[in-house]
């Protein structure tokens, strides 16, 4: 972990900050999700990819149900404190579709799965 | 460009979607910003990193004033349409602080600039 000053996180009016998860080995951008203060603190304390699920309105420990966990290698805050980067070691696919990355082209984009 | 179906972008209630800019050569995550429909359309049409500046409330063509432009190599939409990835060739530093990436540690984080 770096010596990032996590006190300078600028959470939005909804209490959330966007989080980009990047594969620390391949460099691929895996997903974009959100964290509230509790999720971020849990991520930093447990070295896991932890988020706030906007759809379920609850803490979301990535892989808790799917087994597709993220080991948090490094967490970085951007220059103005309103975005976070999780550099992770991803187990299995990051995307709920089974794709390695949520940014992989989908069949609805007119490409083969 | 991929054959992404840009009609499935889920803009937020504020009309914006978060955009991650990644260096297409080094794989580094450079910045997180936002696009509205107009900015996204301009990015795709002009093959440049174009955003919506939330602070200035205007279209923001990255590098228009600084010269630190982004050539848009590829734009990707995530699985549920609520995040965009710009893969770019970055000219000069991406960050207004002069750092290559907005996620580089800053002096306020207790590290050398």
β partners of residue A33: A19
**What fold does the segment set A15-90 form as a domain?**
Ubiquitin-like (UB roll) (3.10.20)
Distance CA B93, CA B21 (A): 13
CB contact under 8 A, B2 and A109: yes
Tell me, what's the pLDDT at B112? 45
Question: Does B108 have pLDDT greater than 80?
Answer: no
The minimum CA-CA distance between B17 and chain A, rounded to whole Å, is 11
Strand partners, A86: A21, A75
- Could you give the CA distance from residue A64 to residue A50 in angstroms, rounded to a whole number? 10
> Which of A78, A101, A102, A113 best tests the B interface by mutation, with the highest count of B CBs <10 A?
A78
ipTM, 2 dp? 0.92
Which pLDDT belongs to residue A107? 62
What pLDDT, on a 0 to 100 scale, did the predictor assign at position B113? 39
Q: How confident is the model at residue A13 (pLDDT cuts 50, 70, 90)?
A: very high
In the predicted model, what is the mean pLDDT of chain A?
93
> Does B5 sit within 8 Å of A109, measured CB to CB?
yes
First-to-final CA distance of chain B: 36
Flag whether the pTM goes above 0.95: no
Structure tokens at B38: 């107009």
- Give the chain A residue whose CA is nearest to the CA of B77: A103
Answer for the pair B89, B17: CB distance below 8 angstroms, yes or no: no
Q: What is the pLDDT of residue B109?
A: 57
Average pLDDT of the segment spanning B8-21:
97
Cβ-contact A80, A74 below 8 angstroms: no
Please tell me the distance in Å from A70's CA to the nearest CA on chain B: 18
∠ CA B25-B97-B104, nearest 5°, is 55
């Amino acid at each position: 972990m770096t010596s990032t000053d996590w006190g300078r996180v600028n959470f939005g009016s909804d209490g959330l900050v966007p989080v980009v998860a990047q594969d620390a080995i391949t460099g691929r951008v895996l997903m974009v999700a959100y964290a509230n203060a509790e999720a971020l603190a849990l991520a930093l304390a447990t070295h896991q990819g932890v988020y706030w699920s906007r759809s379920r309105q609850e803490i979301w420990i990535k892989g808790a149900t799917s087994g597709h966990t993220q080991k948090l290698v490094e967490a970085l805050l951007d220059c103005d404190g309103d975005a976070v980067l999780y550099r992770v070691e991803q187990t299995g696919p990051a995307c709920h579709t089974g794709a390695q990355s949520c940014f992989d082209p989908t069949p609805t984009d007119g490409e083969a799965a």
